[in-house]
Amino acid sequence: MLTEKFHDVLNHEGVVSVVTWTPAEPHITNTWNSYLTVTDDERILIPAAGFTHAEDDLAQNNQVLFTVGAREVEGRDGYQGTGFRLTGTARFVEEGQEFDDVKAKYPFIRKVLEITPKSIKQLL
């Protein structure tokens, strides 16, 4: 599901937005492309130092919207830059090998946000 163009975007720096929500309100949290790790089975791992509002939201609703982009990757019709919107489910991980691997790279984290994509759409 995660295309070569999506992986190209992750090879360049850009802002990642993760949207979570409850009946009360939506919440958006940002991080950087360079922090993302894509597993062999296409889950996305994000080091989480904060993300406390997202954690509270996900306890009630595990659905997420996720955007990522990079100006350096050519989009459709020669457009300067491209981005993607993903939908999926998410959970926080605080133990296990994947947590240990991410924590070794980013010792400041308290948990890992694991996103399992359900759909992906190139926006530009």
Predicted confidence (pLDDT) per residue in 13-72, tens digit? 999 999 999 999 999 999 999 999 999 999 999 999 999 999 999 999 999 999 999 999
Q: Specify the CATH class of 4-122 in words.
A: mainly beta
The pair of structure tokens assigned to 79 is 């457009």
| Structure confidence at residue 36 (pLDDT) | 98
Average pLDDT taken over every residue of the chain:
97
Write out the E strands in the chain.
15-21, 26-32, 37-38, 44-48, 63-70, 82-93, 111-122
Q: What is the DSSP letter of 109?
A: -
| Structure confidence at residue 44 (pLDDT) | 98
Quote the pTM value. Answer: 0.96
Cβ proximity of 15 and 32 under 8 Å: yes
| Structure confidence at residue 38 (pLDDT) | 98
User: Angle at CA 47, nearest 5°, toward 90 and 59?
Assistant: 30
Q: DSSP alpha helices (H): ranges in the chain?
A: 4-10, 52-58, 97-105
| pLDDT tier at 100, thresholds 50, 70, 90 | very high
